[in-house]
Amino acid sequence: MNEIKGRVINVSNRLPVLIRKYAGGARLERSSGGLATALEAGWRDQPGVWIGWAGTGPDENIEPLLLRAAHRRSYTLRSVALTEEETAKFYSGFANEIIWPLFHDMPSRCNFDPEYWEIYQRVNRKFAKVVAETAQEDDFIWVHDYHLMLTAASLKEAGVRARMGFFLHIPFPSPDVFEKLPWKKPILKSLLEFDVIGFQGDRDRSNFVSCLERLLPEATVERGSPHLLVGLEERRSVVGTFPIGIDFEAFGRDAARPEIAAHAAEIRKRVSDDVLVLGVDRLDYTKGIPERLKSFRLLLRRFPEMRGHITLVQVVVPSREEIPNYKHLRREVELLVSQINGEYTEPGWVPVHYIHRNLGRDELLAYYRAADIGLVTPLKDGMNLVAKEFCAAQIDERGVLIVSEFAGAGPELRSGAIVVNPNDFAEVAQALYDAAHMTAEDKRSRIRLLRQIVKDHNVHRWIRSFLEAIPSSDRTKGGPVGDSWSPPTPSKDRPGQKMPGVALVASALSPPGRPRYAMGKDAKLRVMSSAAGED
């Protein structure tokens, strides 16, 4: 039984809002990134508390702005202030100069500064202190992402007895990569203090288990269905795969608004009335933006007849600008854009339109609707919600998705998308050519299939399936591993059911069946089977 009697307390490095200072004061902005987008959409109308950083330091009085932000939400917002040193060494340093590149299989980009580790531990204790002040025993504490991997241990030291879960929004690397981390064992051990540990994909989960086998051989791993049970000393944790999704209905509904359609038509008129290709990303080296631009350049070289008829709109939201790797990336991207435009622009046609700013939701929806091809080619990505948002917004059923095989969304969407290796510029160029020449009927059947998958694997289902994996408190300690473990009983999914409030959520909702999809010979959607376990 996994009923949550109290509240759900979400804990993430970022709150869904960011307080940005400017000369005349401060204003609220929407946080960018998949975690904030998904959790905010999934948690809409639910009570509870969200604890995180609003981008501000300890001396700032942000309470009035936070209260204003909370006014429009069903849950309370509680901020953790970070000093300048903590922002530099915990957020930019340990989280984004060590864990981010390492977990995305890019160890050569890591800066293993030992001071970062000291501050990472300190800030994890700081977050834990705020959570400890807030949580009661019957609450469920749900910690998100790689910034906060040590919090469960600190919470326990502070005497917190509530059950705790952790979800990793980014990939988990293989043992050969993970073992480069000087602090690998304390991190693994701290993760095993959580009652539930969730990953985006089966590969991430199996990498985690392989790391345990290599680095903590005393841990035991038992295969339940659908999740694993890992034991270490007196503790045990449920370890599962929970692919994140978006609020499909809300995206589709908002994309259908007449003003969005009008804005999309305006974009097409001004940018291109021929093939419009769209890339939307945080400006991050994991997103493969230079590689994408080089692929687009190759397309223009290899297929001269496409010149003047295909336009790439690349939207990037500025991100982590204090970190040297990100500064270099911006220069590299801007140089490539200007080289391509310098080489190929003709009167009436500019090959690459480059937008470097955070778009409002309506503007983003208009771009999704205007696009003929969604080009989502990260070198590595936990999931990639842009791919799913593009599908959801395709209410006209005419867009083609090209997606990287190295995004979490790649395997999930492979049956309707064109799947590419982003390092293979010729393959990406060919995929663009093929997508531009695809028949309307082929496009329609593919995007229908994709929209069905995105609709099924939505953010509400992600939340439900994670909360349902929480074991009852007596199952997480004592006794030999497996003695008291039994897998959650499957029940029928109830799509569209409104969550009855966090206190009831886990007991009232069902585990996800995972339908399998395939394109039939006639390219029509077939749902092959429905299985509650792993693929």
Of the residues 139, 389, 412, 456, which one makes contact with ligand ADP according to CB under 6 A: 389
- Give how far Cα 252 sits from Cα of 256, 261, 307, 510, Å: 6, 12, 32, 24
Position 370 contacts ligand ADP (CB under 6 A): no
Position 245 contacts ligand ADP (CB under 6 A): no
b/e sequence 350-381, b meaning 16+ C-beta within 10 Å: bbbbbeeebeeeebbbbbbbbbbbbbbbbbbb
x/- binding map, residues 9-38, to ligand ADP, per CB under 6 A? -----------------------xxx--x-
Of the residues 34, 245, 288, 488, which one makes contact with ligand F6P according to CB under 6 A: 34
Return the residue nearest ligand F6P (CB atom).
33
Q: Is 39 or 428 the residue whose CB approaches ligand F6P more closely?
A: 39
Position 149 contacts ligand ADP (CB under 6 A): no
377 binds, among ligand F6P, ligand ADP, none (CB under 5 to 8 A by kind): none
Structure tokens belonging to residue 18: 């960011």
Return the residue nearest ligand ADP (CB atom).
34
DSSP per-residue codes, 399-459: -EEEEETTBTHHHHHTTTSEEE-TT-HHHHHHHHHHHHT--HHHHHHHHHHHHHHHHHT-H
Selected range binding ligand ADP among 55-63, 108-116, 339-347, 383-391, rule: CB under 6 A: 383-391
Residue 255: count of CB within 10 angstroms of its CB: 22
Residue 283 beta carbon to ligand ADP: minimum distance, rounded to whole angstroms: 9
Contacts of 435 (CB under 8 A, 6+ apart): 372, 373, 400, 402, 418
Residue 312 beta carbon to ligand ADP: minimum distance, rounded to whole angstroms: 15
Strand 228-232 to strand 17-22: parallel, antiparallel, or no bridges (unpaired)? unpaired
Contacts of 63 (CB under 8 A, 6+ apart): none
**Footprint of ligand F6P on residues 318-357 (CB under 6 A)?**
319-320
x/- binding map, residues 113-152, to ligand F6P, per CB under 6 A? --------------------------------x-------
317 binds, among ligand F6P, ligand ADP, none (CB under 5 to 8 A by kind): ligand ADP
Residue 316 beta carbon to ligand F6P: minimum distance, rounded to whole angstroms: 13
Q: Rounded to 5 degrees, what are φ and ψ at 28?
A: -90, 140
Q: Is 104 or 292 the residue whose CB approaches ligand F6P more closely?
A: 104
Q: Are 356 and 313 in contact (CB under 8 A)?
A: no
In the DSSP assignment, the letter for residue 309 is T
Residues found in the chain = 535
Q: Is 171 or 416 the residue whose CB approaches ligand F6P more closely?
A: 171
Q: Would you please indicate which residues are annotated as catalytic (active-site) residues?
A: 169, 381
Structure tokens belonging to residue 157: 């030291």
Q: Please give the Cα distance from 239 to 306 (Å, whole number).
A: 48
Q: Please give the Cα distance from 480 to 400 (Å, whole number).
A: 51
Position 104 contacts ligand F6P (CB under 6 A): no
Residue 193 beta carbon to ligand ADP: minimum distance, rounded to whole angstroms: 25
Which residues would be at the binding site for ligand ADP (CB under 6 A)?
Answer: 32-34, 37, 280-282, 315-317, 358-359, 364, 383-386, 389
Which residues would be at the binding site for ligand F6P (CB under 6 A)?
Answer: 14, 33-36, 145, 169-170, 319-320
